[in-house]
Amino acid sequence: MCPGCRTRTADRIDLRTLEPRGDVLICDCGRRYPVVAGVPIVMADPSGYLRAEIATVVERDLPTDVVELLVSGGPDDASYPRLVEHLSIYLDAHWGDRAAPPPDGPGAGFGLRAIADRIAERAGQPVELAVELGCSTGRIVAELARGAERVCGLDLSFGAVRRARQLLDGELVEYPRRMIGRRYAAARVAAGDRTVAAERRLLVCGDALDPPLVPGVFGRVVALNLIDSVASPRGLLSVLDGLCAPGGEVILASPYAWQSSVMADHERLAGADPAAELTAILRDGTGLGARYQIEDEAELPWTLRRDARSAASYSIHYLRARKM
């Protein structure tokens, strides 16, 4: 739906759906949203996003030795080097069990395994519609599709969503894996039996705090390692609650690795135990439209390989709750 003309009142939300015309989605209000490489970019201010991220939107698949030459001049925090490093980290984390050669060094292996296994278990309780906010390169979308008729994945990183689309379509994705500094080695990955037919899934580049999705229709709503990566954790919880259908479930996970560059101090879940505060918010329905019954809770490992000599290892709080 069009996020630009959506209106809310105390008792209703007025929405307009977007119609495809070639590689553009058009709303009756006159707003237009681009579709690039099969991925729609739909947010309230797409022009602002494109001004800031145009390099990541127009980049294309290149041989590893060419990528290495492009990033060799630095600086490390320029948009393209950041994208290349980001894709190396998250393709390994999401698809490390299917990558060739396998990831090496600290963090080697399938960093998302513990979370993916929990999501895969939910296939035994199928739903019609599922959504993941912060889907990155798409592994959890693939796992959700095993227990849903249709699934949606949304992420603000266009480069990550484009790779998710390629993988779920069954394409072989070749990517540069960071080895040390600005040195990269060629790697490749295919989703195999985790491909998802195009008519069963939708991948969108968009804002998790303002998703262009119809509210109240998703039987399974997922946001993994996202609460500490948005400007407003409580705002994200409100969005998840709004998307979740009555009787549906919300699945969350986070290491609560707060960063001042991401959110102001007053936005953080307070106290020494943010996991307990999150649980209390859901149980009490504080700031939400409903209360939730906690059905599963655990501490799970999550590892991100940065390069052949370094990795970040987290203990994440995993929680699944039923909307009452």
On whether both 23 and 89 belong to a single domain, the answer is no
Decide: helix, strand or coil at residue 53: helix
On whether both 64 and 54 belong to a single domain, the answer is yes
pLDDT of residue 26: 96
DSSP symbol at 124: G
Instruction: Work out how many domains the chain is built from and give that number.
Output: 2
Nearest-angstrom CA–CA distance, 124 and 63:
41
Buried b (16+ CB within 10 A) or exposed e, 87-113: bbbbbbbbbbbbbeeebbebbebbbbb
On whether both 32 and 7 belong to a single domain, the answer is yes
Tokens of 130: 């599922």
pLDDT of residue 8: 80
How many DSSP H helices and E strands does the chain contain? 8, 16
On whether both 119 and 213 belong to a single domain, the answer is yes
Tokens of 254: 């986070």
On whether both 19 and 96 belong to a single domain, the answer is no
On whether both 62 and 5 belong to a single domain, the answer is no
Angle (CA) 41 306 59, round 5°: 30
pTM of the model: 0.95
On whether both 71 and 19 belong to a single domain, the answer is no
Task: Give the pLDDT of the chain (324 residues) as one tens digit per residue.
Answer: 999 998 887 777 889 999 999 999 999 999 999 999 999 999 999 999 999 999 899 999 999 999 999 999 889 999 899 999 999 999 999 999 999 999 999 989 999 999 999 999 999 999 999 999 999 999 999 999 999 999 999 999 999 999 999 999 999 999 999 999 999 999 999 999 999 999 999 999 999 999 999 999 999 999 999 999 999 999 999 999 999 999 999 999 999 999 999 999 999 997 789 999 999 999 999 999 999 999 999 999 999 999 999 999 999 999 999 999
pLDDT of residue 160: 98
On whether both 153 and 292 belong to a single domain, the answer is yes
On whether both 87 and 185 belong to a single domain, the answer is yes
How many residues make up the chain in this entry?
324
On whether both 63 and 126 belong to a single domain, the answer is yes
On whether both 49 and 182 belong to a single domain, the answer is yes
Q: Which residue segment(s) compose the domain that 158 sits in?
A: 37-323
Query: Residue 173 belongs to a domain with what CATH number?
Result: 3.40.50.150
Nearest-angstrom CA–CA distance, 26 and 22:
10
In 3D, which of 140, 85, 89 has the Cα closest to residue 114? 140
Amino acid at 194: R
On whether both 79 and 30 belong to a single domain, the answer is no
